Amino acid sequence: MVTSEHMIVIVGAVAALVLQLFLAPYIALFGIVPNFLIAFAMAIAIIRSSSYGCVMPFVLGLAFDFTSGAPLGAMALSLMVASVVASSCFTRFNNDSLFMALAFMAFGAIMAEVLYGVIIIATGYQASLSGAFLFRMLPCFLYDFALSLVLYLILRRIAKPSGVVRTELTQLR
Amino acid sequence: MPSFAQKSNGSTSTRRVLFAVLVVVSIVLLILYGRDGEDGPLHAVQASVMGVTSQVSSVGAGVGAAADSASTAIDDVTANPTTLEGLRQQNEELRQMLADMDEYRQEVDRLRGLLDMKQVSAVTGPIAHVIGRSTNAWDQSVTIDLGSEDGVVSGMTVMSSTGVIGQVSRASEHTSTVRLLTDPNSGAAVMVQSSRANGIVRGSLNGLLYLEDIDEDKLPVEGDVILTSGLGGSYERGLIVGAVASVGDSASSTSGRIIINPNASAEMLEEVIVVFKAPKVNVTAKDSSSAKKAGNASADEQNVEGQEEGEAVDVTAVQQEDPIDAVLLEESLQDDQDSEDMQAEDDEQYNDEG
């Protein structure tokens, strides 16, 4: 069943894809095109870490692969793995501080960029791993992280899961 | 009725299974995509999706203009309002007209440059508008508004007003993707115009063009013009790629670096020529002079039109007109003389054997 919380995430994901297609190429800095999908997925992974699934990042990544000409499955796999890992780690180590949220968002973003870079180099991209890290992964990560920070600050007010704490009644007894 | 803990465990295990399934799906997709040829179904679907999205992606081009307008608006607000009141009304129409005129003038200049390049290099092919740029940081490409219905096919050379910028990597019905020379996956067989040494120009992640695999004895110097050699058939022969910007100290070794000035960056491209056909004999001495005047010496095999027709060519006369042309002409004559000598030797040897 699609709830209003799901709707917020779906609308946000579509908006991120639209921004990636129509805005990202025009705000590139020194050839570094930002990735709104990574930024959005990481922000949601941290905000909704307790209920974060893997379908949304997979679908977003696949949409990116189809529209960008990248090897199909590359971004789908990278985005899904990185965001799920970041979300799981954050759930485990969360201490309600902003620092932890930012740290795991950064961890997820760089993981997504590195995984994606490794996959496309493995599929025939003509670049060395060190060069790719220096000239693509690192600058892209910085740009993505800046975007995810902005998105996190916006989305945590509107996309935060409802604060109902479900308890196990049998355990209470 | 299942307890919350049971539900939670069930949900977690479902998520894990789903995650594993999607990981497998991604890997299978990657493998299938890798094995799929350029004309395969996955590539075809991707090209169709890209064709659709790129047609509407030019909307984003207005974003830059909008940002400029916003900046101007902020400046206006912070200025004296009484002074601006009269001027704003008076100048509003003029500004709009000026902006329009400037836009037209720039477009005319760009198109004139392209036409000059077409004339100088004697290539045939339509002019296309750049309607989109890559949405992926790893991919240095642009989308143009001509596709397979306009006769564009994968592999065609694409030029700007200053020379070769890349080749068509994917053509859908109405749009095509042009992979720029600066993309790390690009590689063009080239030659140095002065020494005729062959090499390969490759793009890189840092946006520079590198000349590789060049003969140690024929290393270029700064300013040498680099042309496509046509070897391998991926690019049309004799088109200008750029000029040597710097030659590293260890250029002859494998780690050596010869950097070429690229013709254009993706951000600056607005119109391009898709080369349908390039002539076998590219440039005459006269054409070369025009190329210089257009800002770039054009490509050539340095064959002389007059000589092909059996007419004598006066080097001295050309030298008086343009010394650079004379050098090109002398080189051309020397090349032709050499090839004639070799041909004569071959014929002689053949006759002896016969």
Q: What is the rounded distance in angstroms from the CA atom of residue B63 to the CA atom of residue A172?
A: 57
Q: What is the DSSP letter of B130?
A: E
**Per-residue CA distances from A126 to A30, A111, A118, B32, B123 (Å):** 20, 21, 12, 20, 30
Is A168 domain-assigned? no
Q: What is the pLDDT of residue A162?
A: 62
- B166, B180 Cβ separation under 8 angstroms: yes
Helix (H) or strand (E) run with residue B79 in it: none
Chain A positions touching B30 (Cβ under 8 A) are 71-74, 77, 119, 123
Tell me which of B163 and A75 has the higher pLDDT: A75
Q: Does the beta-carbon distance from A72 to B33 stay under 8 Å?
A: yes
Is A165 domain-assigned? no
The region of weakest confidence among B143-152, B220-229, B272-281 is B272-281
Structure tokens given for B251: 């250029």
Q: Given a cut of 80, is residue B6 above it in pLDDT?
A: no
**Per-residue CA distances from B125 to B114, B148, B272, B287 (Å):** 11, 13, 10, 19
Return the domain boundaries, chain B: 35-281, 285-344
Estimate the crossing angle of helix A98-122 against helix A138-158, to 10 degrees: 130
Mutate to test the interface with A, among B136, B201, B267 (most CBs of A within 10 A): B136
| Domain limits for position A37 | 4-159
Q: What is the pLDDT of residue B342?
A: 58
CATH of the domain at A87: 1.10.1760
Q: What is the pLDDT of residue A79?
A: 93
Q: Does the beta-carbon distance from A69 to B205 stay under 8 Å?
A: no
Mutate to test the interface with B, among A56, A125, A126 (most CBs of B within 10 A): A126
Q: What secondary structure does DSSP assign to B249-264, as a single string?
A: TTTTSTT--EEEE-S-
Is A167 domain-assigned? no
- When pLDDT is cut at 50, 70 and 90, the band that residue A17 belongs to is very high
Tell me which of B43 and B122 has the higher pLDDT: B43
- When pLDDT is cut at 50, 70 and 90, the band that residue B231 belongs to is confident
Is A171 domain-assigned? no
Q: Given a cut of 90, is residue A142 above it in pLDDT?
A: yes
Q: Which of B27, B46, B57 has the CB atom closest to A69's CB atom?
A: B46
- Which residue of chain B is at minimal alpha-carbon distance from A21? B135
Q: Does the beta-carbon distance from A136 to B205 stay under 8 Å?
A: yes
Q: What secondary structure does DSSP assign to A72-112, as a single string?
A: TTHHHHHHHHHHHHHHHHHHHH--S-HHHHHHHHHHHHHHH
Is A166 domain-assigned? no
CATH superfamily of B35-281: Rod shape-determining protein MreC, domain 2 (2.40.10.350)
Q: What is the pLDDT of residue B63?
A: 59
Q: Given a cut of 60, is residue B68 above it in pLDDT?
A: no
pTM above 0.80, yes or no: no
Most confident of A81-85, B186-190, B322-326: A81-85
Measured in angstroms, the CA of B61 and the nearest CA of chain A are apart by 7
Q: Given a cut of 50, is residue B83 above it in pLDDT?
A: yes
Q: What is the pLDDT of residue B73?
A: 62
Q: Given a cut of 70, is residue B214 above it in pLDDT?
A: yes
Interface membership of B350 toward A (CB under 8 Å): no
- Which residue of chain A is at minimal alpha-carbon distance from B169? A69
Chain A positions touching B13 (Cβ under 8 A) are none
Measured in angstroms, the CA of A151 and the nearest CA of chain B are apart by 19
Interface membership of B148 toward A (CB under 8 Å): no
- Which residue of chain A is at minimal alpha-carbon distance from B50? A67
Q: What is the pLDDT of residue B62?
A: 59
- The total domain count for chain A is 1
Q: What is the pLDDT of residue A59?
A: 93
Is A172 domain-assigned? no
